[in-house]
Chain A
Amino acid sequence: MVRAMQLTEILDGILKAFELIFSGNPRVYDITLRSLYVSAAATLIAILWGVPIAMFLGLRDFRGKLLVKSIFSTLIGVPTVALGLILYLVFSKGGPLGFLSLLYTPTAIIIGEAILVTPIVVSFATAAIEAVDREIMNLAKTLGASEAQASLAVLKEALNGVFLAATASFNRAIAELGVVILVGGGIVGWTEVLTTGIELETARGNIEIAIALGMILLAIVFGINLALSLIQRRAIWAAPSS
């Protein structure tokens, strides 16, 4: 039944939300931890395959480079529901990867989000690598570095940009709904995350749980941004490894 909400109901919801958060409600904790886990895993995967792509794009010259770069930057704006639908079809029983039985599992959410944020990682990291002085590579070589070690030296100079890419990717992943609901299904206790939880509980009329989850989501996004910008300020530059 649809009805307009009263202000008192909203205030009441906020109070109850605090109660839920601080009383250690198991469902709220379960959802929060799963959200953090799938978003972090997706970001990590996107970095693992996205940064090498960015290094290739940033350090090499080849025909069609501009095209590849603009494809990645266009993909940042892909409608997530469309991506979710494609992945749903790929993972569903009759789909090409149906035999893996991944549909409606946390793994499917991780894969979906990783694909979703990869263009962000690639575009941001490529820009950061391109901004590094090209002579850094030659400098490292004259100091004895191999091709791989010299590339690593460039990456270290671009580390701030890679951090920025990671932050943006994590924020995008944790705030994602379309892909998550299509490939994860929002199954309570199994694939439910903050965004699907908010959607589900709002529809059910459990406004206090929805508000609690919403506040946690915002707190995480703010918290992560704050922490990363603090880390970013310190020069992170470990010893050259080989």
Chain B
Amino acid sequence: MGSTIELRNVTKVFDGITALNDVSLQIRSGEILALLGPNGSGKSTLLRILAFLEKPSKGEIYFQREKVTDKNMLEMRLESTMVFQKTILFSTTVYNNVAYGLKIRKIPKNRVDEEVGRAMRLARLEGFEKRQAKELSGGEQQRVALARALALNTKLLLLDEPTANLDPKNASMIEEILAEANRELKTTIVIATHNMFQAKNLPHRIALINDGKISEVGTSSEIFGKFSKTLASFAALENAFTGNAKVTEDGTTSVDIGNGVQLVASAQSSGLVSIFVSPEDIILSKNLIISSARNMFKGKIVGVSDLGSIVKLQVDVGKRFVVQITKRSFNEMQLNVGSEVYMAFKASSVYLA
């Protein structure tokens, strides 16, 4: 497998602050690579360098074995595109948004129509052509941004936390679309994320990035299959804990993550483990409910962040968990900082590493 893009000893310094420190990375043709790291780790800077939006302070970039220089940068940019974390749309129709890059490339009208149609189908946006892009819902808007990138059929597609501000349904739809694009168009995809689950399921390879350095690159099982020091040090990652695991009589695993919090996981493991619980998998209620969920805790809301259609809550149950619910549920349940809540999740939602 050849490499689409290669960074050699790339360093990027902004106003005296080193955002990337001597990064070397090969992205293989046709792969999905996840850049996994906490906020501020240098993921976005790395993506912007891969998108040729920023020039490295030091080091070299090779795109399809050709060295990237000031002279050929614009040309290279035509072969790569990026979807930003914050959805940015032009104030026009969905069609005009998706067609923008094709028109820039001076592609004839009938082929523009064709390519736009194909990208719209892929992004499940058929029939939206004439709608004003900015009047769509958050999830639809991000799909327009994705369709706009997919229409170009570039060699390289970069995504900066594409699902961070979306509800779970739209997030998984985006992931399906990406997998499909990779399979059918052979698009090489680099996706920056701080979401362990996104990193675990979608990509072929994962690069762990922290403090501007890439510490490990490997397949999902290589990265998650062993106790990774870097992974454990990602304190900023949501719902990532370490603890002592032991297998119980009923075949599940009980993990003590400290402060009296014991989690039940369906996979078997023992000794020191890292565990993760996806914020979307946690069910929140105001009263104690009887359910099949093996993990049930009472806690207090200590933080609320509004992400548009969804709300992220910090719930303190002895350890702090991040729980993601829809804005509607948030309003209906009349939740706020200080509210007492119960949170529940299945043993199968606890991921052990």
Contact status A142-B96, CB under 8 Å: no
Residue among A140, A141, A142 facing the most chain B CB atoms (10 A cut-off): A142
Contact status B103-A239, CB under 8 Å: yes
Residues of A within 8 A of B53 (CB): 138, 141-142
11 contacts between A and B (CB under 8 A): A135-B88, A136-B88, A139-B88, A140-B100, A141-B53, A143-B152, A144-B105, A145-B101, A237-B90, A237-B92, A240-B100
Query: A residues 60-114 with Cβ under 8 Å of B?
Result: none
Chain B's nearest CB lies how many Å from the CB of A83?
Answer: 36
Query: B residues 124-158 with Cβ under 8 Å of A?
Result: 132, 148-149, 152, 158
B91 located at the interface, meaning its Cβ lies under 8 Å from any Cβ of chain A in the complex: yes
B86 located at the interface, meaning its Cβ lies under 8 Å from any Cβ of chain A in the complex: yes
A144 in contact with B152 given A138-B53, A240-B103, A240-B104 (CB within 8 Å): yes
Give the interface residue-count category, chain A.
Answer: 20 to 34
Selecting from A39-47, A121-129, A149-157, A182-190, the interface stretch reads A149-157
Contact status A143-B132, CB under 8 Å: no
Residues of B within 8 A of A139 (CB): 84, 88
Contact status A142-B90, CB under 8 Å: no
B contact face: mostly helix, strand, loop, or mixed: mixed
Given contacts A138-B53, A138-B84, A153-B90, 17 further A-B contacts (CB under 8 A): A135-B86, A136-B88, A138-B48, A139-B88, A140-B100, A142-B82, A143-B100, A143-B104, A144-B78, A144-B81, A144-B105, A146-B74, A157-B90, A237-B92, A239-B96, A240-B100, A242-B104
Residues in B lying within 8 Å of A, measured CB to CB: 48, 51, 53, 74, 77-78, 80-82, 84, 86, 88, 90-93, 96, 99-101, 103-106, 132, 148-149, 152, 158
A235 located at the interface, meaning its Cβ lies under 8 Å from any Cβ of chain B in the complex: yes
Chain B's nearest CB lies how many Å from the CB of A146?
Answer: 6
Chain B's nearest CB lies how many Å from the CB of A70?
Answer: 26
Contact status B103-A142, CB under 8 Å: no
Contact status A145-B104, CB under 8 Å: yes
Residues of B within 8 A of A145 (CB): 101, 104
Chain B's nearest CB lies how many Å from the CB of A242?
Answer: 7
Contact status A142-B81, CB under 8 Å: yes
Chain A residue at minimum C-beta to C-beta distance from B132: A235
Residue among B88, B91, B99, B158 facing the most chain A CB atoms (10 A cut-off): B91
